[in-house]
A and B are shown apart, each in its own frame.
Chain A
């Protein structure tokens, strides 16, 4: 039985323009924003575009801006907001229709990151790889990412400064961190971090960490450790001297 009605305001339109449309939706106990949006779609706006899948905060499909803040619709209780809620599409990505945005840029970025590459020795061994729990714990946190792209949406470099040509965004810093800290990976991605990935564009204001529905400490555990690794290669004259004495050279940014 409905407890009360909700004034649900949904942004309707496409890349050419649109407007907020209000829907009166009956609220039931435990209702989340996605329930309300789907109710409006089923009963009042069958042409409304909304992307969703698991309804369990695990597929990362139903990302949107609820009262202006990036969240998963399926994980956001109506009770957090009172009697009216405004839902808009993610602002950092091109709009397709209503609440659906084109996030394909992220997949293009992903292709630019060199994948997991074990050493020759590990590649050719017939023995199973053995890794201690302490070696994989750190990386396991990054593997929780559900690719909802809320961190990409809230990142001010991508959102407010249109920095997609300069910075890969927090999601891909998490992916690079997972590869760089993997005990069996042999590649050095610091040149990429200094170059095309644009790690220097991040000014560690931690909004990505605030919005992550998987509670990954993106800034403290991925971005800052990567910045320190980049500093090892490019901003530490002591290490540069040691490297030079050992016959090594500074890796060239790509």
Chain B
């Protein structure tokens, strides 16, 4: 992201989906993966939890009546984003207006994909997570403040720290472009190839 969105703390409403093991097939079902562009996927976010197999809306789904852009944060349980590596999952979440996912933990590939799309994975320990979920259950309008520079979120009088890879943090805060970073390593890459790939085999 090249904007300065992350430079200052920001606040937003949160959607509560405190389930474990939400896989990327649920976030965006495979039939929406046939496109060749990355935008416009927000309307298909959690498509099969919004609508049953018969196409009828499922009113029991926690996010049933939530419009895109209504919230900037999603609160989920453990191992969020497991399964398929499809980057369509963070594309859909971001296209829906989300900028952060608060969860107990994240699947590895999803975490990386999210960070590359300006979607911050915030992993919380059990205690603050439980407090947050309880607060949001009682008070769905509660706003969360996300402070990436200090690596904390704040809600009500609470403050909870979260870990983030220093490089990922720097990329968001300073708008560092990972591909640009890699391209700037061209001399080292060329040198590596000269030294290691003489026989054209597996390194």
A and B physically associate: no
Residues of B that sit less than 8 Å from A by CB: none
Q: A residues touching B (Cβ–Cβ < 8 Å)?
A: none
